[in-house]
Each structure stands twice: as structure tokens, then as C-alpha cells.
Structure 1
Amino acid sequence: MPSRRLVEREASLAQAGAALDRLRAGHGAALCLLGPAGAGKTSLLDSILAAAGDLRVLHAAAGELEAHSPYGVVRHLFGRVLTALDPDALDGLDGLAHGAARAAVDLVLHRGEPVGDPSVMLNSLYWLLDGLVADGPLVLAVDDAHWADEASLLFCRHLLSRAGELPVLLVVAARDILPERRSPALAALVADSARVDLEPLSVAGVRSCLADLGHAGISDDLAAACADVTGGNPFLVTALAELLGTTDVRALVPRTVVDTVVQRLTALGSAEQALARAVAILESAPLRTAAGLAGLSPEEAGVAADRLRDAGLFATERLLGFRHALLRSAVAAATGAATRDDLHRRAARALAQEPDGLHPAAGHLLEAEGMADPWAVELLRTAARAALADGAPQAAVDLLRRAVAEPPPAAGLPGLLVELGTAELHAGDPASVTTLERAGRGVTDPVLRAHCALGLATAYHVGGFYELSVPVLEEALAELGPEHGDLTLVVEAALVAAEISVPGRFENARARLAAHGELAGATPGERLLLIHQASVANATLAPIARAGELARRAIGDGATPEQLASPFAWSLARIHLACSGEYDAAADLCAQGLELAAREGSVPIYAAASVTRGWAHLWAGRLDDSGTDFAEALRHAELVPGGQLVRLMAAAGLAEVLLAQGRLADAVAAVEQIPEEVAVDRNHATGIHLLRARGQVRAATGDHEGALSSLRLCAQRLAELDMDSPTWCGWRAVAVESLWALGRVEEARELAATELAVAEQKAGASMLGQALRVAGEVAATDGIALLERSVDVLTGSQARLQEARSRVALGAALRRTGQRVQGREQLRIGRELAHRLGARLLTERASTELALAGGRAGRIEVSGVAALTSAERRVVELAASGLRNREIAQRLFLSTKTVEVHLSRAYRKLDVGRDGLAATLAADA
């Protein structure tokens, strides 16, 4: 029997012991045990779990077929603990499954509705874990993680990214395979965990191990020979110990050490050999299942299993399995390829009849060569759909690729390719383009072609290649007629979205949209077209109120399926509403979206609502609220398909917020977190906003030439797309200030006049007020009149920060012309408003001007609710409504620990406890 004592693993155990001590103190972490097959990873993991002692442990081991079962390891990890709970503890009002953890509990227990969105499942699994650690710290252990399914590894990676939030120690044991052979999720997990590398045993270690196995007192020469042959691999040393005295050690090599043990199988009977081959295929199995695959009766299989245990091949557990993966691999390798395939196919048919046997059966088909079996194709497609429903698109991709390789009947191939390309799209796999292009060449049905074209267009748009989708969508649209109903409008809307983003195609898009006239927004296709009509109204010189009207019609009740399915469409409609000056309405709609995201656990909707509300708050001047929203969007962007768009928009907005708050260094960091080549890439249309933000940041640092360079590129991109509207992306106001600073006075005045003329046509209070202010500040004459009009336009609007800027500019101009009394009044109002909005730079400027005008710039005290940060206030408001900390955390996509920190700070600032929050907020209101 193998030695249970670890040899030369003291340093590894000490590293793990320190991590366990930190866990007992409430600090989470991750360890990754890495070593070759046979290095003793499982034994080390068992020792670490034994050292956990008083800590709760959830343990799962992946098998080679586990990689094909979505969330298979997750189900093993949490299955036992969930099934052991009584119904009230699980599903009661205060139960573990209450709230955001529901989807994860349903997944583990094979119940409930599908979620589809991978981010929903990752978020739900996090909250399941949060509920479990309410009873104390937890150790999560995953053995043989190199065989784990990608969805489970993604959860481990997600948990690692939030390691500081939960008292959880994640211990993962995996083979130290080449980095390029690791799955993306495993590679990220290894890279970001604390590594524990299992080194080969020294000669002394080999001697010690052999002594434990009954070979004490061996010679130095024999110990050295054993170390040389085995490479210090503990399992090979154990296997070699069984051969000492029966073979010449130096005649062996590591590969043949295992082969020599497996050769014992040939000395056994045909029943033992058949059972060994069957278990090698199944990995591990009940006696009944293995017997059926081996063609034996249960009684015959039981006798054969005992003989295989006596021969040192099978483990002693009741479930049939090999003593070590190396032995299983050797038996499988000794089985002919045709026999292996036949066994895998027979295993698939047998397991498909078992409860929850769909994914295990599909896993066996993935291991076999295709034989054009329609049954296999259908089972693989069914398993792929189930994987997509569980939020595991990569597993669906693997299954559908195997179905294509079976292959299916020729008539069914195009439809299967559409399914595969769509799954690849969900998984963020660039291969979706090639797959959908191939599908498009074979599709003849107009409806299927339309769906293929929509998927292909989405794939192109993720990479920014809008021009490639135009001909594809045109061809699909040409084959659709009135009998295809709203699908025609949906395809046309996708075509318009592409044409808007392709230089030279904007007029085509406008003509298509104009041909539809006034749409009611009664169908998904109509609503999507309305969104694009709003885009055109915003991007051209049409009055901005028109864009707001169209956006409202597109939004409707805000709960239409295509808006929920597409965070981009959801966000775009609300952005246009905000551009029209209805900042409060847009923010309220985004708040509804955030509530929806909390109910569904959808990170994409949460990120979309956050970045959209961030812009609405920014344009209204609510800087702290805006900064919080942009930071939240950036924090979750990596879980959003096509998250680059979120990062570009949120980074641009955050930079503007930080500049207004006087945090120049942070603003520089915000724009520099996105590489410049991404911002200038013409395939990323939203990079336009980041170019403008770069210009603002460079101007603030005094680099006005650099600012103008960024702004000229922004203007060039806008001109290429025929979108040069200040409500879409106002760059001229920033450029005027840099031209003025460089002494290029006439250029500044000309550009300011152009901006004012355009703003007059758009007739939006914010942009018009800003244009009037900029023009007034650089005007040779009539500057005060322009500034006074700017204040008039902005007073009563929702653009409070623009109003503060214009009042300060007017007050300064009045002071310079000797009208100090009138100037002081404007400066006081502007200063107080700027301070209330958190615009520190503007507040300081107003204070300086007020002093020059002979006024007192008294200190503005901040206390009570006004002293709370935006993040603190959001937590306080939910706590005052009666929500518990965990419920607040789920609503705001925060950790419970973060909620506790915000509340602690709020209690100190407000000088009340939780019971006094509601009264304090009411009094402030």
C-alpha cells in the first residue's frame, strides 16, 4: 500500500498552514498546488484539509470527462451541503436560496429555470458562497483542476478576483502542464493564485519513502538508482517499490514503471481485462454500470473487481476506479483506438438513459470519433442547449463542434452551424465569424439566413468591423418579405446600426429610417428602429428634443424583450433621452434598470445602467453620483460581453468627473487605463468620447498642443461618420480653451462661433448654455451679453454644473469691467452651486474671483447627509428602507463587507445608529 506520510513537503505544508491561519482570522486567499502526475498533489491536498481541523471544508475532484459537464465541479462542491439542509434553511424567507443565490442553488440541485447569462450564474454562486460563510470561514478544495470544466474554473477565477471580500480559502490542485495547454480560466487561476510547486524528491527523500514502504536499509547505490529512474516522483517511487527484487531497476524508465505494473493485467483473465478497460473508459462507476459496459453480469464483475484490487490496479473504494490516474491512462492507452471509441459510444447510450446522464453521455461522445450517427448529433445539440441555459457557453461550443464533426446529415448542417456560431458568440470566441460565414453560404431558408446574418453582424460589431456586416445584412433583408413580419424590421434595424458606423453609409441609414416615418414602437423591430432614428436626430443638426421624443417612444415601459436581451440597445435609448436634457428622467429609468439587474443578477444590465446613469448624472452636474456609477461600470466590465465598449465610455466619463473634482492625477490615470491604440482605433466608435476626454485631461495638465491633437482626431472621426453634433460629442468647447491658452485668439473665436451656431440649431439648454459661455469668454465685444444669455438659458434647466460655470464666468467678467456688486452676486450663487455639486476646481476659481471683487468667500460647512459620499448615501438609503446588509450588497453588486464599511462611516458622519437613519434622511429631505 502507498505511504500516507508526506516526504519533503514541509515547506508546502507551512505555506498552506499560514493561509489557514489567515483564514481563521477572516482573510480569504487562494493556493494552487502544481506538479506533474504522481507528484502527490492529492496527498498534499488531503494533508492540508486535515490541518484545516475546525474549519468547514467543501471538496470536489474533477475527472477527465468532467471537462464536458458544465458546472460539474461546482455541483460536486456544493451538492452535499445543500442537499443536507432542511427546507426552511434552504428555501425559507431567510433561507440560503433567498435572493441572488437562488439561481446557483437551482443549478446545483438540478431545478429551476435556466439563466442563460454566465454573469448571472457567477454572481449567484458568489452569493451562495456568501450565505455559506455566514456560519464561519470555509475551505473550497478542487483536486485535478486540469480536468475541471471551464464554467467551474471561471467561478473559481471570479472568486479569486473577490478574495478579499469573503473568508474563503480556495485550494486548487492541478497538473503543471505547459501554459499554452491550460484552458484560459485555468491559466488565469494559476497566474493569480499563490503557487505551491511540488518539487521532485531528493535521493534522501526517495530512500525515506521506500523505507516507509517496507524497504528500509537499501544501499546508497540502489536509492540513487531509484531516484534516477523515477525522477523523484512519489507515485513512481511507490510503484517501483512493488517491483524491487523482481526487476533490474536501472533497466526501467519512468514510463515503463507504470507499464510494468499494468502488465499484471495480462496475467489475469478476460473478465478482469474487460472490466479494467470499461472502468478506464468510465473513469469511475458503480459496479452495475461498469459490468454492463464490460459485458459481464454483476456477479462476474464483482469477482473481477476484487482481483483487480488484489493486483494493485483498482482502488479499495466501493465505487470502481483505478488506484491512480497514471494507471488508468496506461490501460486506456493499451486499448485499441477502435475499441475505445466503441466503448465510449456504448457508454454514451447507457448513460443517456440515467437521471442527469445527459452531460456524462455527451462527454463520452466528445471522446469518440464521429460516425455520422444522427442520434449522437441530436444528443450533443441537446446537451449544448442545456449548457447555454446554465450559462456555460464554452461547454456548448465544444459540444456543437463535436456535433458538426459527427457529421450531421447535409440538410441539417447549416442550422447546426448557426447554433455553433451563436454559441461561440456568447462565449466571446472570434471563431464565431468563420462559423457563421460558413453557415451563411449553406443556408437557403430566409428566416434561418436572417438569424445567421444577425449573429454574424453581432460578431463583426464586437470587433468593430461594421463595414463587413453591411452586405451580409443587405442580402438577408432582400430575401425577407411581408410574410416574415417583424423579423424584417429587426434585420433592417441591424443594417441601419451598421451603416451609421461606416463612413459614407450614413445617408443610406438616414434614408431607410426616414422611409418608416413615425413609428409607434409596438414591436421589437419598431423599437429598435426608433432607437436609431433617435441616434440620427442626436448626431445631426435636428433639434435635440426630437431625439428625446423618439427615445421615449422606443423605451416605452422599459421592459421590452429586445432591450433586456441587448444592454447596448437598452443603454442607447436612455443615452439619447439624457442628451435631450432630461437627465432626471434618464437617471430614474436607469435606476429601474439597476433594480432589474439586482432581481435578475445580470451584470451586463447592471454595467449598462451604471454607465448610462453616470452620463446622466455628469451632465446634470451630480459629480459624486456620476463618479460612483462610472467606477461601478468599470469594476464589472470584464464580466460583460463586449466589455470594451463599457470600459471606453466609463473611463471617458470618469476622467471628466475627476477633472471637475480637481483630482488631476486620478483623471490622467482614468484615461491612461485604456491603451491609446484602442482609443484611436476606428473600429471602436465609442473611442471618440475617450479622445475628447484625453483632450480635456491634456489641457488640464497644460499640454494644450497634445489636447488639440486628441481633439482634432476626435473631430476627424466624427466628420467621417457625419456625426458632428455637440450633443453627441462636444469637442469644440475644449479646443477653444486650448487655442486661447496658446494665444491663437482668432482661431479660438472662429471655433467658438461655429460651436454657437451649431448649438443654436440643436437647441439643447446644456450645450447652448456652454456654447454661449465659451463664446462670451473669448469674445472681443459683447462678451457679457453672451454670458448673461448663457445664464438665462441654463437657469431652470437640469444642467446645474453648466449653470454654475456660466455664473462664475459672468461674475468674473462683470468684476473685470468694474461691475463688482453685480459680479459678487453671480459669483456667490455660482460658488455655492459648484460646491454643492462637488466641483472643487470651479469652487476655488469662484472663491478667488469673489475675493478680487471685494466679497467674502466664507467657508461652506458640510455636515449631516451632505457629508456622505454617493456610495455611502446609496447604502444608507437602502438600510433606512429596512433592507439587511446582505440584501443591500446584492442590490448594489457589492460585498457585504463593503456595505458594512460604508454604514460604519455613515454612522460616524450622521452621529446616529441604524434605527436613526430613516429620520435623519427624512429631515434632510
Structure 2
Amino acid sequence: MADSELRGRDRERAVLEQLVEAARSGHSDALVLHGEPGIGKSALLDMLAGRLQGFHVTRAVGVESEMELAYAGLHQLCQPFLDHLNRIPPPQQAALGTAFGLVSGTTPDRFLTGLAVLNLLSDAAAKQPVVCIVDDAQWLDRMSARILAFVARRLGAESVVMIFAVRDGVEHELTGLTELEIRGLDDADARALLDSVLPGPIDPRVRDRIVAETRGNPLALLELPLARSAAELADDRSTEALASRIEDSFVRRLEALPVDTRLLMLTAAAEPLGNPTLLWRAAEQLGLGADPAAAAVESGLITFGRHIQFRHPLVRSAAYRMASPQDRQAVHQALADVTDPELDPDRRAWHRAQATMRPDEDVAADLERSAERAQARGGFFAAGAFLERSAELTLDPARRSQRLLAAATAKRSAGALDAALDLLGGVAEGPPDPLLTAAAERLRGEIAFDQGQARLAARTLLSAARQLDPIDARQARITYLEAMSAAMWASGPDAPGILALAAAAAPPPAESKPPADLLLQALALRFTAGYAAAAPKLTAALASARTAELDTNDVGSWLWLAGNRASGIIAIEVWDLETALQLADRQDRMARQTGALLQLQFALNFRANLQCLAGNLPVVAGFVDEARQIAAATSTPQIEYGGVLLEAFRGNEVSAGRLIEATIRTATARSQGRMAAFATYAKAVLHNGLGRYETARDAAARVFEQDVIGYGVLAASELAEAASRTGDTKLVESVLTWLGVRTTAVPTDWSIGIEARVRALLESDESAYEQSIECLSRTGLRVETARSHLLYGEWLRREGRRVDGREQLRIAHDQLTEMGLEAFAERARHELLATGETVRKRRPETSNDLTAQEAQIAGLAREGHTNPEIAAQLYISPRTVEWHLRKTFSKLGITSRRQLGAALDRAG
């Protein structure tokens, strides 16, 4: 539809023009147009593209038949900018080049590829603003869709506009972006549009019924009259969905064409590239002459030029749907024959697969090779589809099961968990193969963990490990560690099979003990022989993990994940804050280097929790904010336990309570006992700060009694403090006994400091208070040090030693206030008032004028990182970094990076 024919679209035009004008001023944005088929989305995009002056416009179109070809849509969109590839950071060059098959390399992470696309567009926009238009985005291949969605969510100050059009009722990856619903025309515009295509006069009642039934859908108004006579329009009482009726109208028009013309249209529909050379070569292969093309053009349903374009995507689907299976096979075979096996082997393999209805090992092997290439480029969705079709064409039952397992593995890597489970059902149909059966069971366990079913995952992985024991000892031990990690995540006294699992874990046969084996042995001993017996092994395993060289290509694997998380848990279990911080930093660094953003969320939350203990709450807020931004950018659930503890330490009763209860609710529903225990521990922290000791005692007791590895260390002091205030002396005694075993086994400043504090609470021992403060002050645990000052001051005041108590309480109040622990600081203030000292309630000085992201960028800039380095770390573009720094400089009243250090110090 020409621009002049776009009736009733003033609202939509205004929105699109506002986006474009903002881009001229250096701003970026993304918009999703959505509506039913034929509602005018494509016409609006064509109108916009035709009006843009001074912009670089790039377009892509999703094609349903091309959804299995990885990066096909992304390559369309980025093709005009590939000459900028050498201007982006080398790791991003490698990721995007590998994804597009331009270079060979390790499997690119999709988020590193996304950052490459963001910087590619940003670099191009430095010369003139860029507008990216993607029509029928619901049919993009999954990798392209996810990467473009990631880029759209990370846009900032790049002068890039991304506009997508999606069809209602079809799932897509663009949820969460700003949407604009495209509705039908009003009655007046609809009547005018209908009148413009009617061949002659029509009964006004019939016209009004057509307008009403089409609900102002422009394509329906334009097309239905062309496929029906006036009598048919008058008699039409169809109850079919409008999209089906429009497609049926195209079918009727296609049916009126000569047989050879329909076959040519089918060939064009089956060839998603719109490549005229391929089309004419395939037509020649099919024995079609020149006449069919003339009839096709005359129909108005297709145009032939540099690219082949259907009048509407529904024409393509109608041409394909109405064809017989025999014609489809013939067309796909012709397209396979004319597709270059060197330049485009994957598309050729896919056409061959569609041309084959019976088992064919040659075609199946071709698809398997395509899957290997797709997987090497990070195209796990494509690899899964290729392997699934390969299995369907495989006659040998054993080979078929192997390909089904490979397909399920690829689909699990792509996040298609239900599809992966469906494929695993077919693996067992092959001949008995113990190794294949065990591998399938292991994959089931890993998928269960991905789905948040930690308890089921532990049981399934334990079963798989036992099956692997007599077959492959090394893989069995790895699977035992995976099972133990899942069981620890499930936690609680009924965590499935954890003791049996630990007892079954055999020592490695070799003298050289990899970190994973040491972790397995240490944890097995912890759950079978107890803490004291396991402590030396736990410490040795931790030392090995700390110095281990990690493979960046394996960062997303279960072994890496299970090992790193287990090591972090062990670091807390053996009272080693320094190693815990080192492991958290390493996990963060590895996740950033490889673009593994899900693992980065875990790393950021782990770092947040440790920094809570260190009292660096502004830093914690930055980690929490970044994790939330990543969740929003990747459309994944937020990992919130860092935020839970932050709000608990701040003493924000409403927000902390809401987060705690929501976390417990979700964790309980998913049998994630560890997460529920953590939130319950945070509840104890919150209520100890608020002075609600009974609630704090009950919460801490639930965690303490479950023996949740790593969390007992945290819950013990909360329980002792709350129980001492509620008069539950026996509870304090049990905590002291528990701590005595651990302090003897692992005597660190942390363990000794907490044990001394609990002893002081139980025995009113002043020297124990002093020992607690002395030991904890040598650690990085500023919160624990301040709380020991608070408890010591409270005890001194109750003993009637108001002057001595005032000194300790003043130290506690100043430290707690400076760290932002407002509830605990208020406790100290009330105690100071009780000693007769007047103290005003005050809040910590923070750089409230800066947003969390501005503060984070400013901090990295102060450390000497360049804009591209900051951009790579935070998954934004260098231009957005520069934009944030300009705003930060303005807020802080400075003009250069050299002034950042002093300005940030002044801002707190």
C-alpha cells in the first residue's frame, strides 16, 4: 500500500516519527508493532523506510521455513555493516564472525555475539543514525531473535532505532520491549478503502457487513473482494478466523493460475532467501519456462527483481500449504540440487531433508554434519532441529538413538527443555546400550535442575551416576558431584539420597586428583563422617579449587558450575572469607569473558552476599542492580537473593519482608530448600536488626536445625543473639557446642570471633566480647565487628557501666550508620539514649544523586578502565558509557576522569 493510501494511521505515524527524531538527537529506542495478520504492520514499516532521510536503514524479514537456520535473520540485518567488524573489540569480532561463518573459532556465546551486534550498530551510527526494521519477527530463527532482543534491551545513547513487527497469537522473544498495538481502521476509513477496490456498486448492507466482519483489517478489505464475486460477497457467512479467510482468498487466486505458475510460486515460497538466481536455476531444473513468471507477475501476488517479494507473507504460506506433498518434495530437491554445497551446505542439507520422506543415511549424515557446524557457531536451536530430522531419517535403531540423544542435548543447551525431554523418550526405543541409557538419565537430571526441580534433579543424577559407575568411572564421579550440587540446592533434612550419594562416591583411582574429585571426596566425608573429620579434606579441596586453571570454553558446563558453586559454599563452611571473595570474583570474571550472563547473575548475587557481610552496601546495590538489568535484557527470571539480603541488612521491613516471603514461596514450590533457607536466614537478620527477637530466633533456628551446608555459619550467630534476648539459654548452649567443634577443626579469626561472641552472650564474659572484636576486626567482616561492639555495649549498659557502654555503642552506631545498616544503627541509637547520651538519628552519606549504573561506571572509570572496557564488562556500548559519564561529571561538578576519585570520595 502506497504511503498516500495509509488511511487512519496518524497515531502510529506520530509514534514512529518521534522515535526517529529522538535518534537524530543521539537517543536509542526499540518498538514492537503487533497486531493480527494483514492489519497494516508491513505497510507502516514500508512507509517509514520510504520517508527516512539521512538515516542508514537496514531491514530483515523473518521467514517461517528458515527458522531452523541459525543467525539467518541476524545476518540479513547486519550485512550492510560488516565492513565495521574490525572496529569492534577482538573477542566480539571473533564471536560474530564465527556466528556468521566468516571465521572458524570456539562456540560463540550468544550474549557476547549480542554485544558485538550492539557495538557494530553503534559504530555505524557514529556516522549517521541507524534504523533497523524487522518484519515478521515472530518467524526469526531463535538465535537471531534472542540476540536482537538482547540488543534492543541494551540500547542507550547510540542513535539506533529498532522496530519489530510481530503477529498476534504467535510466541516471540521480544516480550518486555515497548509495544504499539496496530488496530483496525475505523468504519469511515474502512469503507473508503473497500470502495477503492470494489469492481462496481455493491449493496450498502453487504458493504457494511464486510467492514464489520473484517474489523477494519486493511489487507482483508483489499484482498477479499478480489477473490470473490459480488454474489459471493453477499452470500459469504464464513465463521473462519480472519487470517484463514485472507489466506484462503490467496489460495483461490493461486488456484486460478496455470499449473506451472503455481509450481514456480511454490519454489519461491520454499526458497526463503528471495534469491532470483537460485529460483531460476531451480525452475530450470523443474522444466519450467519463462511463461509461468509472466502469469505470476500479472497476478499481483509476487514481484521479481533483485529480491523476490510476495505481496504478503500469507501469500507465501498459501502457496506452500496448497501444494501437494509430491510437488513440495520435487521443489525442495530442485533447490537442493542448485544450492552450492561449499557456500551454503546447511541450507542444501535442509532442502534435501524436506525432499526425503523415507530413511536415507546419506541425507541423515549430511544433516548431522550441518548440526556440528551449527553447534560450533552457537546455533543450538538449529543443531537440535538438524539432529532431530537426522534421527527421523535414520534406519539403524542404535544410530537413531544416538542422534536423538545428541538432538536432546542440543535442545537443552538452547533452552528448549520440554522439547529435549520429548526426544529423550525415543532414546530408550533403541537396542540396549548401558552408556547411552546412563547419558540420557544424566541429561534428564540436568534438565530437571534447569527447570528448578532440585530434588528431582538430585535423585535422577544419583541414578545416572550409579549407572555410570561400572562403565566410566570418571564420568560417574563428575555426575556424583552434579548430583551432590543439586542435593545441596534442595537441602533440608530430606534432601534426596545425599548420604547414600556421599557413601557411593568412590575415590579416584589415579594419584593425581582433579579439583572436582577432591570436592566430591570432601563433601562425601562431610555428610557421612561429620564436620570435624571432613574439615582437612574440605580445606584441601578449597585450596585446589582456588588455584585450578579453568577452561573458558567449559564455563557453562555443569561440571564447572557445580564445582565453582560447591567451592564457594565450602569457603563459607570453613570460615574463609578471602577465598570466597576470590572465587566469586573469578566466577564473575569468567562469566563476563565468555558472555555467560546467567552465570554472571549467580556470580553477582554471590558477590553481593559476601559484600553484605563486609558492609559494602553501596557496592552490593550495584551488583544487585546489574543482575536485575541482565535479567531484563535476557528475559530470564531475576536471581534475587543478593537483593533479599541487602534489604534485610538495611532493615527495610516492607521491601525486605516482601522479597523474603516471595523467595520462600517460590523456593518451596520448586523444592529449592537451599534458597528457602537463605531467605529464612535473611529474615533472621532483618528481625534481629528490628529488635524482634522471637521472630528472628524462630527463623534462625529453622536454618540451623537443617544443617544447610555453608548457611549454618551464617545462621549460628543470628540464632545465638536472638535466643539470648528471649531467654532461651539452651539454644545458645547448643550453638556454642556446635561452634566449638568447628572452631577446633578450623580456627580462623572469623570462627574464633563468632565463637567468642556466643560465649560472651552465654556466660557474660567481658574478655570474650573483647576477643570477638579483636578477631573479627582482623577480617573483612565489618558488619560482624560492628555488631560485636553493639552487643558488648548493650551488655555493659545492662551491667550498669553506662560510660563504658557508651563508648562501645558510639563505635557501633558510627560504624553501622556509615555502612547503611539502619535498623541495627537505630538499635545502637536507642541504647545510647538509655545511657543518657543524646544522639540524632542520621542516615549514611551516599552518592544518591548518581544512579546505580552511573556509580558503577564511575567506579570502573576511576580504576582506569577505558570506555570500551567498561562497555564490555557491563554489556552496553561505549557510546552509552560516554553518555553516562557525561551525566556523572555534571552531577559531581567535575570535568575529567582525573577528578573522579576525589569527587566520588566526597560523595560517599
> Which interval holds the TM-score relative to the shorter structure?
0.7 to 0.9
* Aligned AA (2:328): R
Task: Show structure 2 runs of 5+ residues with no match.
Answer: none
Whether contact under 8 Å (2:54, 2:128) holds in the other structure is: no
Shift of 1:65: 1.7
* Aligned pairs (5 A) from 1:185-224: 185=173, 188=175, 192-199=177-184, 202=187, 205-208=190-193, 210-211=195-196, 220=204, 223-224=207-208
Whether contact under 8 Å (2:481, 2:562) holds in the other structure is: no
Of 543, 547, 559, the residue aligned with 1:556 is: 547
Shift in alpha-carbon separation, 1:800–1:553, aligned structure 2, 3 A: same
Whether contact under 8 Å (1:201, 1:234) holds in the other structure is: no
Bigger shift: 471-480 or 878-887?
878-887
TM-score calculated relative to the size of structure 1: 0.83
Structure 1, residues 535-579: CA drift from partner, whole Å, max 9, x if none? 759983457575333212123244246566433422332342354
Bigger shift: 881-890 or 826-835?
826-835
Bigger shift: 124-133 or 852-861?
852-861
Shift in alpha-carbon separation, 1:872–1:264, aligned structure 2, 3 A: closer
Structure 1, residues 838-874: CA drift from partner, whole Å, max 9, x if none? 4444445445545655779799999999999997675
Whether contact under 8 Å (1:824, 1:850) holds in the other structure is: yes
Shift of 1:422: 1.1
* Aligned AA (1:305): A
Of 546, 549, 574, the residue aligned with 1:580 is: 574
Aligned-partner SS, 2:59: strand
Aligned-partner SS, 1:60: strand
Of 788, 793, 797, the residue aligned with 1:811 is: 793
Shift of 1:371: 1.5
Tell me the equivalent position of 2:63. Answer: 63
Tell me the equivalent position of 1:379. Answer: 366
Of 731, 734, 752, the residue aligned with 2:718 is: 734
Whether contact under 8 Å (2:584, 2:606) holds in the other structure is: yes
Whether contact under 8 Å (2:792, 2:808) holds in the other structure is: yes
Tell me the equivalent position of 1:78. Answer: 78
Whether contact under 8 Å (1:540, 1:725) holds in the other structure is: no
Tell me the equivalent position of 1:323. Answer: 311
Tell me the equivalent position of 1:690. Answer: 679
Shift of 1:3: 8.7
* Aligned AA (2:600): Y
Tell me the equivalent position of 2:219. Answer: 235
Aligned-partner SS, 1:140: strand
* Aligned pairs (5 A) from 1:670-685: 670-674=659-663, 676-679=665-668, 681-685=670-674
Shift in alpha-carbon separation, 1:535–1:420, aligned structure 2, 3 A: farther
Aligned-partner SS, 1:796: coil
Question: Is 1:609 the equivalent of 2:603?
Answer: yes
Shift of 1:924: 14
Shift of 1:260: 7.2
Question: Is 1:340 the equivalent of 2:328?
Answer: yes
Shift in alpha-carbon separation, 1:388–1:684, aligned structure 2, 3 A: farther
Tell me the equivalent position of 1:144. Answer: 136
* Aligned AA (1:628): G
Of 298, 315, 338, the residue aligned with 1:310 is: 298
Shift of 1:709: 5.2
* Aligned AA (1:457): G
Shift of 1:37: 3.3
TM-score calculated relative to the size of structure 2: 0.84
Shift of 1:820: 4.8
* Aligned AA (2:339): L
Work out the CA distance in 2 between the residues paired with 1:121 and 1:693.
Answer: 37
Work out the CA distance in 2 between the residues paired with 1:265 and 1:624.
Answer: 66
Bigger shift: 589-598 or 910-919?
910-919
Whether contact under 8 Å (1:69, 1:149) holds in the other structure is: yes
Shift of 1:123: 3.9
* Aligned pairs (5 A) from 1:145-164: 145-162=137-154
Aligned-partner SS, 2:103: coil
Question: Is 1:772 the equivalent of 2:756?
Answer: yes
Bigger shift: 584-593 or 865-874?
865-874
Aligned-partner SS, 1:430: helix
Work out the CA distance in 1 between the residues paired with 2:586 and 2:251.
Answer: 64
* Aligned AA (2:278): T
Whether contact under 8 Å (2:482, 2:562) holds in the other structure is: no
* Aligned AA (1:612): F
Tell me the equivalent position of 2:773. Answer: 791
Shift of 1:895: 6.2
Shift in alpha-carbon separation, 1:663–1:3, aligned structure 2, 3 A: closer
Shift of 1:738: 4.3
Aligned-partner SS, 1:141: strand
Whether contact under 8 Å (2:612, 2:649) holds in the other structure is: no
Whether contact under 8 Å (1:73, 1:149) holds in the other structure is: yes
Shift of 1:60: 1.1
Work out the CA distance in 1 between the residues paired with 2:547 and 2:704.
Answer: 34
Bigger shift: 416-425 or 221-230?
221-230
* Aligned AA (1:617): Q
Structure 1, residues 508-561: CA drift from partner, whole Å, max 9, x if none? 34445584599754x465365367469759983457575333212123244246
* Aligned pairs (5 A) from 1:692-771: 692-698=681-687, 700=689, 707=696, 710-715=699-704, 718=706, 723=707, 728=712, 730-739=714-723, 743-746=726-729, 748-761=731-744, 763-771=747-755
* Aligned AA (1:90): L
* Aligned AA (1:621): G
Shift in alpha-carbon separation, 1:559–1:617, aligned structure 2, 3 A: same
Shift of 1:347: 2.8
Shift of 1:385: 3.2
Work out the CA distance in 1 between the residues paired with 2:708 and 2:226.
Answer: 80
Tell me the equivalent position of 1:90. Answer: 85
Tell me the equivalent position of 1:355. Answer: 343
Tell me the equivalent position of 2:402. Answer: 415
Question: Is 1:40 the equivalent of 2:40?
Answer: yes
Whether contact under 8 Å (2:193, 2:218) holds in the other structure is: no
Shift in alpha-carbon separation, 1:343–1:636, aligned structure 2, 3 A: same
Tell me the equivalent position of 1:632. Answer: 626
Structure 1, residues 86-119: CA drift from partner, whole Å, max 9, x if none? xxx531xxx1355646523553473342435333
Shift of 1:460: 3.1
Bigger shift: 505-514 or 392-401?
505-514
* Aligned pairs (5 A) from 1:642-657: 647=639, 650-651=640-641, 653-657=642-646
Shift in alpha-carbon separation, 1:43–1:707, aligned structure 2, 3 A: same
Whether contact under 8 Å (2:32, 2:180) holds in the other structure is: yes
Shift in alpha-carbon separation, 1:312–1:690, aligned structure 2, 3 A: same
Work out the CA distance in 2 between the residues paired with 1:916 and 1:538.
Answer: 57
Task: Show structure 1 runs of 5+ residues with no match.
Answer: none
Bigger shift: 192-201 or 443-452?
443-452
Bigger shift: 314-323 or 701-710?
701-710
* Equivalences, count: 889
Whether contact under 8 Å (2:648, 2:656) holds in the other structure is: yes
Work out the CA distance in 2 between the residues paired with 1:476 and 1:52.
Answer: 62
Whether contact under 8 Å (2:34, 2:165) holds in the other structure is: yes
Work out the CA distance in 2 between the residues paired with 1:231 and 1:861.
Answer: 59
Bigger shift: 590-599 or 221-230?
221-230
Tell me the equivalent position of 2:391. Answer: 404
Aligned-partner SS, 2:663: coil
Work out the CA distance in 2 between the residues paired with 1:367 and 1:774.
Answer: 72
Identity value in percent: 21
Structure 1, residues 716-740: CA drift from partner, whole Å, max 9, x if none? 5x2xxxx356764543433444445
Work out the CA distance in 1 between the residues paired with 2:51 and 2:229.
Answer: 37
Shift of 1:416: 0.9
Whether contact under 8 Å (2:787, 2:812) holds in the other structure is: yes
Question: Is 1:426 the equivalent of 2:413?
Answer: yes
Work out the CA distance in 2 between the residues paired with 1:489 and 1:71.
Answer: 37
Aligned-partner SS, 1:68: coil
Work out the CA distance in 1 between the residues paired with 2:782 and 2:253.
Answer: 85
Shift of 1:694: 2.9
Shift in alpha-carbon separation, 1:112–1:318, aligned structure 2, 3 A: same
